[in-house]
A and B are shown apart, each in its own frame.
Chain A
């Protein structure tokens, strides 16, 4: 609450212990290639959405893995599912399916219903 003209700032630290990683677990189970990402950014470089809006599929993967679900939920809708990212991935990650599964997981979870 605001008092004395200010509020207590919320940290921007990722608090790993208190985050909920069920969305990530849901994807890991159904798309094991999700583990293989080495964060090269090839997917984001080729991504149409990423080139025109604030959207990075690479970063989204990390945020899912860390359980930063609010930010993921806000951003994942931007993906147009064109599949270009899957074409470039050097590790054979099925990046398109990860987006599909993430949306599914959010839908299934009442808390994060899209």
Chain B
């Protein structure tokens, strides 16, 4: 593997990422899947990086799940998205920062559609006006929350209490990255590093001391795919996707997986348990699974946050092997005793209106 070849491609896929004054839109499902991630993200942005991040209580789903499951028609989706833009404008913000990859992909797709078909945008404007009386402006900047962490990866590294290094061997941890299909496959130029060799998570891992693993099925879907999973009869297809990835990455002996998307960590994490139940197979070292993290959780660990405040107890594949390798101190008996909102200081309530 020649890293210079990758660097040449990464150079071609750099995108503009806003510096401050972010309008943050949460994901529908992440707070159920891995509830610590978004909370940790806000703490990092506000308290570590001192950025202005705003959330609005009237923000709704972007309807991405419905759109990708063939339930919500695209015009409805566009009007809902237009309303999000309007609310952002009303709050005085221009830089949209979604937490969800599918939202990010959907916003990108809609903006691109409007760019090519202005008459569609005009129609949506009319619909929004009729339905809500609102008007909107196109966001000045659209960056996924991971793009922003990528942008500030060096600042986070400067404050790091731990590195992605095995403290016993001194070797960098071997990390598998998974970007999520909707991040760059639809619009490669909108993703840091493009779609074939994405750099958004790889850049963080490099900066925080780890080593990125490239393996043959890196580009393969995690298995979420909405309709693959939502219908129980299709779940065998979903779990087979994840299995294909695990089989392919196993020879590289990865220490952990880092993910970008709401669905990917869920399925790469949960399906390891399911495969083990069905086939008695585990893919990590020492009869363990491969711990799966969101990028916010990894950033939080690097910054020295309490693993249980980050919500790592919600993972079905135990994350302790990574904590041990990094030398993170934690108390096993507190695993399920964490306080609600432990990451928040007084001044930053969940919703800042």
**A and B part of one assembly:** yes
A residues adjacent to B (C-beta < 8 A): 1, 3-11
**8 shortest interchain CB distances as A-B pairs:** A9-B236, A9-B240, A6-B235, A6-B236, A9-B237, A7-B236, A8-B239, A3-B278
Q: Mask for B267-307, Cβ within 8 A of A = 1, else 0?
A: 00000001101110000000000000000000000000000
- Tell me the chain B residues, 25-67 only, with Cβ under 8 Å from chain A: none
Q: Are the CB atoms of A3 and B240 closer together than 8 Å? A: no
Given the complex of chains A and B, what is the CA–CA distance between A8 and B275 in angstroms? 8
B residues adjacent to A (C-beta < 8 A): 232-233, 235-237, 239-240, 243-244, 274-275, 277-279
CB proximity of A14 to chain B, nearest CB, Å? 14
Return chain A residues, CB-CB under 8 Å to B243: 8
Return chain B residues, CB-CB under 8 Å to A6: 232-233, 235-236, 239
Given the complex of chains A and B, what is the CA–CA distance between A6 and B278 in angstroms? 10
A1-B279, A5-B232 in contact; A10/B240 too (CB < 8 A)? yes
Q: Are the CB atoms of B244 and A8 closer together than 8 Å? A: no
A1-B279, A3-B277 in contact; A8/B232 too (CB < 8 A)? no
Given the complex of chains A and B, what is the CA–CA distance between A19 and B236 in angstroms? 23
Q: Which of A3, A9, A10 contacts B274 (CB 8 A)?
A: A3
Q: Are the CB atoms of B240 and A4 closer together than 8 Å? A: no
10 A-B pairs, CB-CB below 8 angstroms?
A: A3-B278, A4-B277, A6-B235, A6-B239, A7-B278, A8-B278, A8-B279, A9-B236, A9-B239, A10-B240
Interface centre among B236, B239, B279 (most CB of A within 10 A): B236
Return chain B residues, CB-CB under 8 Å to A11: 240, 244
Q: Which residue of A lies closest to B233 (CB)?
A: A6
Q: Are the CB atoms of A8 and B277 closer together than 8 Å? A: no
Given the complex of chains A and B, what is the CA–CA distance between A3 and B279 in angstroms? 10
CB proximity of B338 to chain A, nearest CB, Å? 28
Q: Are the CB atoms of B278 and A1 closer together than 8 Å? A: yes
Q: Which residue of B lies closest to A5 (CB)?
A: B232
Given the complex of chains A and B, what is the CA–CA distance between A3 and B275 in angstroms? 10
Q: Are the CB atoms of A4 and B244 closer together than 8 Å? A: no
Given the complex of chains A and B, what is the CA–CA distance between A5 and B233 in angstroms? 8
CB proximity of B202 to chain A, nearest CB, Å? 27
CB proximity of B273 to chain A, nearest CB, Å? 10
Starting from the known contacts A8-B239, A9-B239, 14 additional A-B residue pairs (CB-CB under 8 Å) come to A1-B278, A1-B279, A4-B235, A4-B274, A5-B232, A6-B232, A6-B233, A6-B236, A6-B239, A8-B278, A8-B279, A9-B236, A9-B240, A11-B244
Q: Which residue of A lies closest to B277 (CB)?
A: A3
Return chain A residues, CB-CB under 8 Å to B239: 6, 8-9
Q: Which residue of B lies closest to A2 (CB)?
A: B278
Return chain B residues, CB-CB under 8 Å to A5: 232, 235
Given the complex of chains A and B, what is the CA–CA distance between A3 and B244 in angstroms? 19
Return chain A residues, CB-CB under 8 Å to B279: 1, 8
Return chain A residues, CB-CB under 8 Å to B240: 8-11
CB proximity of A41 to chain B, nearest CB, Å? 31
CB proximity of B223 to chain A, nearest CB, Å? 10
CB proximity of A54 to chain B, nearest CB, Å? 24
Return chain B residues, CB-CB under 8 Å to A9: 236-237, 239-240
